[in-house]
Amino acid sequence: MKLKFLGTGTSQGVPVIGCTCEVCTSENPKDKRLRSSVMITTEENKKILIDCGPDFRQQMLTNHEHTVDIALITHEHNDHVIGLDDMRPLIFKSGKDVPLYCYSRVAHEIKNRFPYAFADVRYPGAPAFELHEIENKPFEVLDTEITPVEVIHYKITVFGYKFKKLAYITDAGFISETEKEKLKDLDILILNCIRKFDPHPAHFILPDVIKLFEELKPKKLFLTHISHHLGLHDIEDKELPAGIHLAYDGLEFNF
């Protein structure tokens, strides 16, 4: 299987509109971060998208991706779902509704934000989705076993997703001891890290991530959902403890 980071930024992206800090004005492509999303390619070359934010169209074009077989949605915040309407060309080409897998709460929000996609009689050109409400237990789709990992993002529950010995978690500020058991003995763990300092009510910051790395002991840990407050990619990546790396848009690897 293969994972590609389509985006590694926070809800504002990097650069932030109107900001003139050294990160936002950097010319290094690794300091340009679209909203967080990844594409998983299965061994049968099926495409599993995790989250579909406002940069989805740009991400698909930039990465020369042409299909989405299913989408896993972590939660209902706009930077993770508002790009769903841009799936229309894929839907028109395939002639099939795109299956979305998410909490029942998230499914309800998607219906509210895109009511025209679920109308009994849809206008020509409307997107079409097939909602699958999932619970916190493993399920299989596209010949791939997927294990949800439930984390807390401020006051709401969010799903991370585990494939084989890789887990992807974004928008987390707390992980229970029960859910941590799913994250042990991993080859690759991907965690959100919004900034270096100043505790955040909804997101991990760098000391939190380092503590989890030392506790869970994955072979590698990649940081995503990164803001301009974390610092310049090339400087900060070198200063991280061995085994921890900053992800960047376009990074891909097999697992």
pLDDT at position 172 is 98
Q: pLDDT confidence of 35, banded at 50, 70, 90? A: very high
Q: Report CA 23 to chain centroid distance, whole Å.
A: 22
> What are 109-146's pLDDT values in tens digits?
999 999 999 999 989 999 999 999 999 999 999 999 99
Report CA dihedral (245, 12, 196, 19) to the nearest 10 degrees.
Answer: 110
β partners of residue 151: 158
- Residue 49 and residue 38: Cα distance in Å, rounded? 6
Entry pTM: 0.98
